[in-house]
Structure 1
């Protein structure tokens, strides 16, 4: 399996190297802050261009969403980069899954040193999942049951009583009930925390031997066998009799039977249990585990990489929510500036030019500044200068912003342009007042959310403060 992972990593490396210069000009000017996985964009762009995944997400809703957050009229490039960015995350998830799988295989191979024995626990029975390798190199599993280490007579400490039902359950071993016994019985030599000694008498040892194994001559219709448990502690002895319906044993391989028989015949007082060197006369090797978990890890990783492609769409929804909050925040300022320039006698187009010019100056000073309301207003100004009518450009501004308040503002400006009245001052003053009230309410709601988030830490701090005060008080009382 290690070879498969190594081959996969080599193929990934070759793919990365061969696509290193793919569309390098397009990748060169990309901001690493916006595209943190820029290094994988060569592979991602190749996959998007060459495979049907390139056509994913061409719906109108995605176009509108990208248009909102990119503030560009031509969104073809932005959508292409958005899909490439999602694919790059999927590629990273797949690479990590392969590397993790290789790590699991390597660590597993290092721990799978040949063993010659297993340990017998001093408290309870142990089940070992081991593997043996025959002369042909084939590796096969064995589920090995190793009985617990029995205590010697002088180690027994307490009185026997009330363990009959528990003893029956232990004696049944892997069988569900006494009415259908098909697996070996677990005829324990002790029971309970008191380590009560138990010996057994079997009504028909030709059906069940004293090792608890079911012999091969059991009738298919089932046979009734009475078991007598002699439970002894010091001089107190209690006999408990119960019956079991025995059916032919099923499902145990010859290899397991031979290894289990070899282990069961060893001294139960030894903490080290040796394993047979041969099965069916052939030398074998045993391993404590086999590296199979890597399959699960890699499968989960590949599934996550595919799911990640679709879950990344949630990022764009979060960006749109942030954009809308920013638009609401800037709305009173936009209205206020329009009102000031209108009162100064400027036309709508001239007022927009002044607002956009001021925004550009601020943007030069603060390079990472991006305000969607002003960006959309700049696009409307460009439309006006390119020959689009002022009414159409203003209506487009309201539609592109997408919020009710901006649609309302575009309607106010449109009415002023059409009618040429002086009532725009009063309308903008009323709109400014209502927008300030709305902004105040929005800030109060945001403050309430922050207060709610702080409740958890405040409660933890209160508990810590109470503990600091009360613990020393209680300690002093005990003194």
Structure 2
């Protein structure tokens, strides 16, 4: 039994043991009978209670919805007073005073902590609505005096609280007043010069001289944001190209490996040395590349190894570097076999190379299978597009005939 199964079995035993202990505790535990149920305080809501009663015939379950406690008559005045004090603190909302009401009022519909409901009444709902919103009509008529009323209720008991308010127009700063006056002058000039081809702007308003300019369009934020987005996009595009190139290189190396191994074994078996076979393969590849204009990753790495040997790097070191550059297990194993073949320090190398050919053949079949699967995946989108066209050709005439 492995470690994972042991932990699973131990967990099942622990859960079963805890369950058994809890069941035995509940079965043998002596329950004390209850005589009193405690209600929730006013405003806290009802309480759901699950009980059972016992008779000579057995035990029977009962579900009870225990209502919250209601206030006594001698408590109501104190509760209503507490509710009024709470409303005094919150009903103005963001306004500083009831005589300088600028913003909307805050009209709560209940006081949860006290269990009181609140209803709001106003002199005219055209000016102040029941949710505390001040209408545009009231703002246009400002200053406006009126009274709003809060009705606190608990059951059938009610208490009212009146709040006199004065709705005013918010004071405007000098900048806003200046802008509005200039806009008003411009509107008057447009009305006076509506038949003219050009609008002559005023040089002064009252004692204030004006100089007019075209408003500069600040494009630097856009340039900053757009430029950085472009840089990020370029970075990710280059990263994507690099990853794609890396993937293409791996795929190319994997596809070239069976052919390289087969040709090396064939040439070495015919009596050539490893280097001669290597150079023969590269010369054939160079002629093929000149004829087709294409590159193959595996042969490019072999060509680099030939250049290293021509530049004076030892043959064994060149084969070792070739395996490390390719990076895959197959090429590393091939470079190791070639190094042993050159050293002549191990017997049966031809047999090992032949065995490597068999493994390379298996790899070639696996590459062909993967290529077929990827080709099928790439065909999904064209198939969907063709299916869409077919549905359109079939359905559009049908819909047109239905409309007719």
- Indicate the structure whose relative CO is greater, using CA pairs within 8 Å and at least 6 residues apart: 1
With the length of structure 1 as denominator, give the TM-score of the two structures.
0.43
Q: Considering only CA atoms, is the larger Rg found in Structure 1 or Structure 2? A: 2
**TM-score (normalizing by structure 2):** 0.50
